[in-house]
């Protein structure tokens, strides 16, 4: 009996272990063939960076609200240049096919030039960004984004597209102002860029590499940077430097603070490859604001001058001139009849302050003056022989007076996209003409889009009638309907030239 019980117990244990072993192996086999996906309702990561709000309280750093606010006000700009001259003559390198230059007359009125099939222009398309600064359709961008464009198209964040007109440009700051026929647009506000601090967070918003609505984050790396990128005479470079990623296509886009206010217009990068390498530069919003106001009010930028030749104060100059300060701007020369000299500033002075703004370098001084107009009064503090003196300086314009230059563009001439000037008597006598109207500059408009006219062309006749002043040209075009033919000469090229366009 005892042996029977032991046998039963052993059999039971063997069976139990066999079943458990089988279940273990089956479970292990299933685990090797099953992919487990686990979900959690908790946030996997918490904010670890903080920033102070306006009340001085520490809050988690978050860019989403700023990006949502600014994206709507940053646009994509496509600029197209169709009439690209192939040479240095008024015919664009195609030769004199007819007495009508490049056959604009016959193309306009008969659809094809004489002597063959029409030659299609080779368009050049550029891309950049812009910032809406006014709900009625005013957009700021870089001059180099739209320079020489025959057609400017603006695409909003919501994918609506508009043709833009050029209000004005300022190559010395690389800024341009556009206008689209739309209202109630989202916009950004311009902040006082003097309040921008090195080290504060900023976002760069634009369209790099045609990638619409791209936002990058960084800090203000430096202020008052000059990188000698603009070759215009009297160019003003006092950039805000940032390490927010800026690439080709960001030009004209927004650099904003965390409140979504405009700090500057992204303009340039410093890179050995042409792509982002850590250094981006923006025109400060104070300069942007002043240029925009000038273009809206006067049609041209009002530039003030103090009449000095300057250089940065550095250690070598301190030792050479035995200066008592190691910062500021050294006055090498005071120009004759300049406003600085008239106020009492002398060669050898060191400019250390303009109003309440500290001046540590040439860009600081250029930026401070660029925010003012001819006729404005400024308190300029200089260090002379170890002591500070304050001089009240009245800014002059380039001509040495305080007049405001207002460029009036008559309605009849505005659509032509050109600046006109009445030919003076000396030039008329030299060219043996009775008078005329010279085309000083060509921008987006009918003349550039429909003809191959070059700057410098002198209009002597309109539809066969003599014209000797801008006023006469305006008066005639106001009443004109249909096609217009212009006849005239170039100062540096022999013969007469003809251009026609649709009125």
What's the burial of 423, exposed, middle or buried (CB within 10 Å: 0-12/13-18/19+)?
buried
Among 158, 170, 104, residue whose Cα is nearest residue 132? 158
Q: What is the Cα Rg of the chain in Å? A: 34
- The answer to whether 322 is a known catalytic residue is no
Contact 429, 383 (CB under 8 A): no
**Alpha helices (H) in 276-347, listed in sequence order:** 285-297, 315-321, 339-343
> Between the CA of residue 4 and those of 7, 16, 154, 325, 427, what are the distances in Å?
5, 18, 98, 113, 136
Tell me the two tokens of residue 310. Answer: 């300057």
Contact 416, 473 (CB under 8 A): no
Q: Residue 216 carries which DSSP code?
A: E
φ/ψ (deg, to 5) at 330:
-85, 130
Dist CA 230 CA 173 (whole Å): 8
CA 19, 21, 27, 30 dihedral sign is: negative
Pick the catalytic residue from 103, 170, 174, 364. Answer: 174
- The answer to whether 76 is a known catalytic residue is no
Pick the catalytic residue from 144, 170, 221, 289. Answer: 144
Pick the catalytic residue from 129, 193, 251, 285. Answer: 251
- The answer to whether 144 is a known catalytic residue is yes
CA 6, 11, 12, 14 dihedral sign is: positive
Dist CA 454 CA 442 (whole Å): 8
Catalytic machinery residues: 144, 174, 251
């Amino acid at each position: 009996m005892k042996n029977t019980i032991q046998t039963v117990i052993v059999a039971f244990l063997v069976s139990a272990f066999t079943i458990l072993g089988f279940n273990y192996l089956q479970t292990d086999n299933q685990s090797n063939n099953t992919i487990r996906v686990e979900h959690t309702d908790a946030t996997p990561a918490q904010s670890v960076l903080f920033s102070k709000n306006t009340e001085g309280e520490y809050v988690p750093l978050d860019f989403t609200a700023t990006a949502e606010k600014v994206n709507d006000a940053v646009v994509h700009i496509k600029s197209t240049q169709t009439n690209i001259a192939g040479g240095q003559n008024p015919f664009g390198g195609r030769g004199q096919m007819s007495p009508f230059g490049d056959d604009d007359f016959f193309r306009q009125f008969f659809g094809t030039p004489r002597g063959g099939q029409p030659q299609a222009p080779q368009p050049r398309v550029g891309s950049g960004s812009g910032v809406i600064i006014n709900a009625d359709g005013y957009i700021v961008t870089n001059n180099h984004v739209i320079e020489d464009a025959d057609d400017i198209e603006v695409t909003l964040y919501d994918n609506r597209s508009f043709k833009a007109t050029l209000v004005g440009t300022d190559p010395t700051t690389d800024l341009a102002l556009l206008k689209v026929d739309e209202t109630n647009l989202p916009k950004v506000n311009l902040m006082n860029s003097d309040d921008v601090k090195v080290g504060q967070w900023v976002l760069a918003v634009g369209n790099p590499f045609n990638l619409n609505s791209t936002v990058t984050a960084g800090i203000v790396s430096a202020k008052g940077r000059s990188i000698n990128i603009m070759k215009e005479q009297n160019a003003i470079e006092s950039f805000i430097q940032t390490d927010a990623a800026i690439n080709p296509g960001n030009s004209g886009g927004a650099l904003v603070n965390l409140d979504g206010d405009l700090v500057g217009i992204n303009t340039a990068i410093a890179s050995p490859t042409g792509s982002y390498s850590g250094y981006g530069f923006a025109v400060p919003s104070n300069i942007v604001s002043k240029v925009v106001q000038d273009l809206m009010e006067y049609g041209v930028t009002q530039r003030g001058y103090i009449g000095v030749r300057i250089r940065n104060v550095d250690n070598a100059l301190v030792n050479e001139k035995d200066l008592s300060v190691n910062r500021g701007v050294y006055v090498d020369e005071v120009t004759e009849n300049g406003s600085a000299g008239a106020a009492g500033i002398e060669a050898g002075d060191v400019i250390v302050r303009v109003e309440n703004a500290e001046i540590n370098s040439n860009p600081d001084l250029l930026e401070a003056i660029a925010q003012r107009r001819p006729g404005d009064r400024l308190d300029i503090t200089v260090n002379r022989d170890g002591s500070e003196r304050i001089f009240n300086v009245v800014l002059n314009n380039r001509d040495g007076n305080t007049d405001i230059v207002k460029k009036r563009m008559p309605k009849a001439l505005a659509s032509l996209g050109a600046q006109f000037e009445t030919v003076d008597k000396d030039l008329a006598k030299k060219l043996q003409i009775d008078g005329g109207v010279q085309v000083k500059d060509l921008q987006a408009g009918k003349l550039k889009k429909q003809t191959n006219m070059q700057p410098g062309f002198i209009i002597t006749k309109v539809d066969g009638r003599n014209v000797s002043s801008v006023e006469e040209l305006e008066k005639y075009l106001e009443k004109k309907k249909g096609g217009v033919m212009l006849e005239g000469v170039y100062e540096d090229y022999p013969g007469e030239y003809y251009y026609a366009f649709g009125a």
